[in-house]
Amino acid sequence: MGKLWLGCLALLVVLILIVGLSFVGTYNRLVTLGQEVDKQWAQVENVYQRRADLVPNLVATVQGAAEFEKETFTAVTEARASVGRATVTPGKAPADPEALARYEQAQASLGSALQRLLVVVEKYPDLKANQSFRDLQAQLEGTENRITVERMRFNDAAQAYNTTLKKFPTNMIAGVFHFESKPYFKATTPGAETAPAVKFDFKGSPPPTAAPKP
């Protein structure tokens, strides 16, 4: 009888160890996947910040040659300011879909304003030939491409995390430790899912319309 009791006790201990190790492994996996989402979010913030940092130099370069386009410059400046206000918790991917939506909307507004600014450039061939502007245009084009890539990678990381979070019995452990699902980037406005086109036809541009003399 004593041996049977000891056998049952040993089996119980083994089962507890297995469950405990499984519990710890699941918890650690959620932490790892959550950290990957945060890492990808940091990359998203980095490329958006890089675009925002290009704006002052881009506006100054264009403004010097297109002084009559004050409305466009104002729109870009205000859009850049709204990006600075639409922040989320530093270093953490947003858990609130509404917070991400506000952040995305602000970034989309800046993208649209930059698109309008670059359309203005078509009227000024001297500006298009300016090396400083061409360098900024190339940097902006590369940044827009990186934004698209990093948004996609963030969504992939969030999907991997959310899928694991919903699986049984992981969802039970997630509930105990208050792991929350992550929202995805979505197109909040028509065309917002597409990076602004920042390419120019430097060869076939029509001659500019002469500005009226004062």
Domain residue extents for the chain: 23-176
23-176 is classed CATH 1.20.1440: no
Give per-residue pLDDT as tens, 126-179: 887 888 888 998 999 999 999 999 999 999 999 999 999 999 888 988 888 889
Whether the per-residue pLDDT at 197 is higher than 70: the answer is no
What DSSP designation does 202 have?
S
Buried b / exposed e over 172-191, threshold 16 CB at 10 Å, is: ebbeeeebeebbebeebeee
The lowest-confidence range among 107-121, 156-170, 180-194 is 180-194
The answer to whether 71 and 120 are in contact (CB under 8 A) is: no
The span from the CA of 53 to the CA of 32, in Å, is 31
Q: Is 34 exposed, middle or buried (0-12, 13-18, 19+ CB in 10 A)?
A: buried
